[in-house]
A = this chain, B = another copy of it.
Amino acid sequence: MSISPKMTLLEEYALVARALSAPARLMLLEQLAQSERRVEALAEKTGLTVANSSQHLQQLRRAGLVTSRRDGKAIIYRLTDARTLTLLGVLGDVAERNLAQVGEILRGLSNGEDAPEPINRNELAARLSEGSVTVLDVRPADEFADAHIPGALNMAVTELGKFLTDLDRNTEIVAYCRGPYCVYAHQAVAFLRKNGFNARRLDGGLPEWREDGRAIQATS
């Protein structure tokens, strides 16, 4: 079947693409983009069984998208490098702009509010150093604890209502979450705007911010 080098190459490229072609594996990659994790932790975060996670992770490893190492009794998986992150971002970009259904869902998350353009990371960095912005991390608390943008507040989207009084209505709010596939930031921005706040989404999530080489606040 694949005697010529050309065909072998194409099959390898196809293998990488196939690794991205299951929602379960995209969830795993999104998690790994936050930080390296053990199989069990990944299984819990994604709702997959451990055995199933393990098999998906092996497919991702065969495709070169993740690598693993041992730490004590656990195997720790992580993204091979920043190119994996780039690939995920471009994939989301293509889908968002070329698939009508994706655009609709993303707009639907805004719940009637028309969302403003996201703020880019350069601009946020500048605004942060001025102190003229409130940064909101809407990921689960454990992921926030692991690492976040310095000075960010952590509020789960579902709890946002309870903390509205804590937020300064005169300062622009920038919300972010995991990255291109995370919907929390969209929802948070819509909710805040509906309640009269000036809120925008950050372009990219924590992984992209970190990949830019910017400072993060980490626990360990």
Q: Contact check: which of B17, B23, B92, B98 meets A21 at CB < 8 Å?
A: B17
A12 within 8 A of B: yes
* Contact across chains for A94 and B87 when beta carbons are under 8 A apart: yes
Task: Please indicate the chain B residues that have their CB under 8 angstroms from the CB of A108 in the complex.
Answer: 5
With A17-B20, A23-B10 as contacts: A83 and B97 at CB distance below 8 Å: yes
Task: Please indicate the chain B residues that have their CB under 8 angstroms from the CB of A80 in the complex.
Answer: 98
A102 within 8 A of B: yes
A201 to chain B, nearest CB (A): 15
Within 59-118 of A, Cβ neighbours of B (below 8 Å) are at 63-65, 80-81, 83-84, 86-87, 90-95, 97-99, 101-102, 105-106, 108-109
With A14-B26, A17-B18, A183-B5 as contacts: A94 and B102 at CB distance below 8 Å: no
Interface size of A in residues (CB-CB distance below 8 Å): 47
With A5-B183, A7-B23, A90-B87 as contacts: A95 and B12 at CB distance below 8 Å: yes
Task: Please indicate the chain B residues that have their CB under 8 angstroms from the CB of A93 in the complex.
Answer: 83, 86
Within 1-39 of A, Cβ neighbours of B (below 8 Å) are at 5-23, 26-27
A8 to chain B, nearest CB (A): 6
Within 138-155 of A, Cβ neighbours of B (below 8 Å) are at none
With A21-B18, A64-B98 as contacts: A183 and B9 at CB distance below 8 Å: yes
* Contact across chains for B9 and A181 when beta carbons are under 8 A apart: yes
A213 to chain B, nearest CB (A): 20
A86 vs B98: C-alpha distance when bound (angstroms): 14
* Contact across chains for B23 and A94 when beta carbons are under 8 A apart: no
13 sampled A-B residue pairs with Cβ under 8 A: A9-B105, A11-B23, A12-B99, A13-B23, A13-B102, A16-B94, A16-B99, A17-B20, A63-B98, A80-B98, A83-B94, A86-B90, A87-B91
